[in-house]
Each structure stands twice: as structure tokens, then as C-alpha cells.
Amino acid sequence: MSRYTGPRVKILRRFGGVDLPGLTRKMKWVQARPFPPGQHGRNLRIKKSDYRIRLEEKQKLRFYYGLRERQLVRYINRAVRAKGNTGQTLLQFLEQRLDNTIFRVGFSPTIPAARQLVNHGHICVNGRKVDVASYEVRAGDVITVRDKEKSRQLVKVSLEAPSLSLPAHLDVNVNALEARVIDSPSRNALPYQISEQFVVEFYSQKV
């Protein structure tokens, strides 16, 4: 399954108006119509099965981080093999993605915008250009904006109005356009609500 590139407001409305900061800047449109899209969306009443509940939690995670189904399965497999709580380990892997980190430090207004910033070569990690959005940052890594006028201007515009407060595991030097990873992300650092155990249960028969 390829990455979803359609209207993101429609996705949030399908989930009942859930707030996934970083997915879109048009949350006011979602809040104005917090019911499923479609002709009968306003009056639609659906009793959710256990399968649907778990599927929706999985889809929230996939759409939020902009993952293909195959990518998410690979993260699940890694989390299962790792020590500790599988659900929390999965979230930690996802939060350590470079595109998500770029968004969390305020260098971009959304995660899709952060992915584009990385893919177009505007970002360096430890002094080396990295153009892979899924690159996994670790404690001690230093993320900088390339010393090019276009790169720096894109980030400065985003820093003028950051979308979220800075999580404790990250530090930012706004003047130098530099961010540092201090520690591994914690479960409490997530800016959205998710039942990660439901995601693990959804894949329990597949991994």
C-alpha cells in the first residue's frame, strides 16, 4: 500500500475529529465539522467492532507519521524483537524519525512539510547532509539547517509560529538554527492520543 497523499482533513473527520497535530494546519476545518465525511456523515451512527477500533488506532499511527503499511509492519517487527513494552518501543522508534524530529523542534509546520524539507536536502545531522526522512536520530545527535539562504529561510518562517511546545528530550538554538537530541523520547512526550496496545493487538496475528 502506497503512502496516502489525499486530503488530510478528510482523514481526521473519518476518525471523528481527532486532533493529530502535525498532520495538517487546517484543524479549524475539522473542528467545524467533527463528523464523518459524505452525504450522510452528520447522521451516521456506527457501532464499532473490536476489529474496527484496533484498525482505526493503527491507521491513526500510519497516517500521522506518513508511513506505508509495509513500513509500519517493519517497525512492529523491530518493536516485537526489542526488549521492553512493545507498544511503547514502537512509539519510540517512530518519534525518533528525522522528519518527525524536525517537526517537533519547530523547523517545519507539519510532518509532511518536514519530510519534504529532509528529502530536498535542507537538513544535516552531525554535519552531514541527510535526505532520508526515516533516518533515526539518537541521543547526542545534532541537527542543523544547511548554510544556504533558501534552507534557512524556510526554517525561520516556521520558527516564527511553532505548532507545539518543545518536548523535554530535544533542545533548540533558534539563532543558530540548530537542534540537539538530549535523550530518547518518552511516552509522555507524544502530542496526540493513541492506544498503542490496540495497534500491537491488531498486528498480533501477522508478525
Q: Please name each of the domains of the chain with its CATH number.
A: 8-93+192-203 (1.10.1050.10), 97-184 (3.10.290.10)
How large is the average pLDDT for residues 195-200? 93
Indicate the pLDDT class of residue 1, thresholds 50, 70 and 90: very low
How large is the average pLDDT for residues 133-140? 96
pLDDT digits (tens, 9 = 90+) for 144-177: 999 888 888 889 888 887 777 889 999 999 999 9
pLDDT of residue 56: 85
> Is the predicted pLDDT of residue 108 greater than 50, yes or no?
yes
- E strands, 36-177, are 123-125, 128-129, 142-145, 170-173
The dihedral formed by the CA atoms of 97, 103, 105 and 106, expressed in degrees to the nearest 10: 170
> What is the model's pTM?
0.83
> Is the predicted pLDDT of residue 5 greater than 80, yes or no?
no
pLDDT digits (tens, 9 = 90+) for 50-80: 888 898 889 888 888 989 999 999 999 999 9
Are 162 and 102 in contact by the 8 Å Cβ rule? The answer is: no
Phi, psi of 183 (to 5 degrees): -155, 175
Q: Please, is 111 exposed, middle or buried when counting C-beta atoms within 10 Å of its C-beta (0-12, 13-18, 19+)?
A: buried
pLDDT of residue 164: 76
pLDDT of residue 40: 46
pLDDT digits (tens, 9 = 90+) for 7-46: 666 676 666 656 667 666 555 545 555 655 555 455 556 6
